[in-house]
A = this chain, B = another copy of it.
Amino acid sequence: MIIILEPGATAEQRDALAADLKARGYGVHLSEGVERTIVGVIGTPERDKNELKEQFESLPFVERVVPILKPYKLVGKQFKPEGTVIQVRDVRIGGGNLCIMAGPCTVESPEMLFETADRVKAAGAHVLRGGAFKPSTSPYSFHGMGEAALKLLAEARDRTGLPIITEVMDTRDVELVGKYTDIYQIGTRNMTNFSLLREVGTARKPVMLKRGWASTIEEWLQAAEYIASQGNYEIILCERGIRTFETYTRNTFDINAIPSIKELSHLPIFADPSHATGKRSLVKAVSLGAVASGADGLILETHPNPEKAVKDGPQSLSFDQFDDLIRAVAPIAAAVGKSL
């Protein structure tokens, strides 16, 4: 941690700060520049860093405090340089495997779910997605079938052998959802719901953590650290687009995040081109881009009849479009050395 003093800071202020730091047990390096004094603080423990940074910035003679270390440990690259591989039933996530998750935004009926499960499996998907509890911007929209949908998802798994992933939105539902799902999904709206992060951190099932639509990569990794700090290291990150000024697309897919996560963390990183674009016509191109840039997997919305979907129809692929996408992804995966 480096503390940069204001131009007018006095020698007394500087010395008092140094004495205070030493009294707390930290090493201190003073560096007098031409216009500024800089104080290096050595040995600050992880758990005190945020608090210390804010306290020093509160001093009237301090201009700013520059942290040196990254604010996460367990999910950082150095913690596990070889990369995390997660086994979910027969599916391996990470480690050179390209994993495709597909299914409807929302479970609407047994028929549409089973038809979708059969078709995406046939096309080559590895995991079945489907919403039981759905976040909706409007209180008057459909909010999902709840446990009935969870049961149908489990039935679809039995039918197809595909592991399932579904969203959990409420700390009170973590146990219930865990009775059925293979992977918990934390949606973008709950990336900063820290109670929920901690709750799935105590569960013993993998968690897909979608990036908050206005969260930096660093904040996203800190959210993952919440889960890891409770003992659950099986975390899949998922870039699903961030909020910008652009209005032609629903979100802006931050493809930079894919190699950035690869250099900062050992966790697998997925892409969600359906939400990242909000437009069916763009999903294929962005899926190919995500895989070429190093994504470990894709999560895609598909629907037997997108124009009848209860939610997210405009971004859902028909089965034929999904087949076409998978065919196009295969040579890209091969080109970057991933097995599909």
Chain B residues closer than 8 Å to A23, beta-carbon distance? none
Q: Which of A44-52, A86-94, A152-160 contacts B (4 or more CB under 8 A)?
A: A44-52
Q: Is B260's CB under 8 angstroms from A282's CB?
A: yes
Chain B residues closer than 8 Å to A33, beta-carbon distance? 27, 40, 42-43, 68
Q: Which residue of B lies closest to A1 (CB)?
A: B33
Q: Is A229's CB under 8 angstroms from B192's CB?
A: no
Chain B residues closer than 8 Å to A314, beta-carbon distance? 54, 57-58
Q: Is B195's CB under 8 angstroms from A169's CB?
A: yes
Question: Could you say which of A169, A195, A307, A316 has the most chain B C-beta atoms within 10 Å of its C-beta?
Answer: A195
Q: How far is the CB of A142 from chain B (nearest CB, A)?
A: 7
CA distance A142 to B40 in the complex (A): 24
CA distance A246 to B264 in the complex (A): 15
Chain B residues closer than 8 Å to A214, beta-carbon distance? 212-214, 243, 245
Chain B residues closer than 8 Å to A336, beta-carbon distance? 288, 328, 332
Copies of this chain present in the complex amount to: 4
Given A31-B31, A50-B136, verify A258-B38 contact (CB < 8 Å).
Answer: no
Which of the residues B78, B222, B241 comes within 8 Å of A138, measured between beta carbons? B222
Q: Does A123 contact B (CB under 8 A)?
A: no
CA distance A50 to B134 in the complex (A): 14
Q: How far is the CB of A226 from chain B (nearest CB, A)?
A: 4
Q: Is B54's CB under 8 angstroms from A313's CB?
A: yes
Chain B residues closer than 8 Å to A38, beta-carbon distance? 2, 29, 40, 68
Q: Is B50's CB under 8 angstroms from A289's CB?
A: no
Chain B residues closer than 8 Å to A142, beta-carbon distance? 51
Q: Is A246's CB under 8 angstroms from B216's CB?
A: yes
Q: Which residue of B lies closest to A27 (CB)?
A: B33
Which of the residues B2, B35, B72, B332 comes within 8 Å of A69, measured between beta carbons? B35
Q: How far is the CB of A280 from chain B (nearest CB, A)?
A: 8
Chain B residues closer than 8 Å to A292, beta-carbon distance? 285, 288-289, 291-293, 332
Q: Would you give the 0/1 interface string for A125-142, flagging 1 where the beta carbon is closer than 8 Å to chain B?
A: 000000000011111111
Q: How far is the CB of A268 from chain B (nearest CB, A)?
A: 15
Which of the residues B217, B229, B242 comes within 8 Å of A248, measured between beta carbons? B217
Q: Is A216's CB under 8 angstroms from B194's CB?
A: no
Q: Does A306 contact B (CB under 8 A)?
A: yes
CA distance A171 to B32 in the complex (A): 44
Q: Is B260's CB under 8 angstroms from A194's CB?
A: no
CA distance A59 to B308 in the complex (A): 9
- Given A135-B192, A193-B193, 12 other A-B contacts at CB below 8 A? A33-B40, A38-B40, A40-B40, A51-B141, A55-B307, A137-B219, A170-B195, A214-B214, A216-B245, A255-B289, A256-B276, A331-B334
A: residues with CB less than 8 A from B are: 2, 4, 7, 27, 29, 31-36, 38, 40, 42-43, 46-47, 49-51, 54-59, 66, 68-69, 71-72, 78, 135-143, 169-172, 189-190, 192-198, 212-214, 216-219, 222, 225-226, 229, 241-249, 252-260, 262-263, 276-277, 280-282, 284-286, 288-294, 306-314, 316, 328, 331-332, 334-336
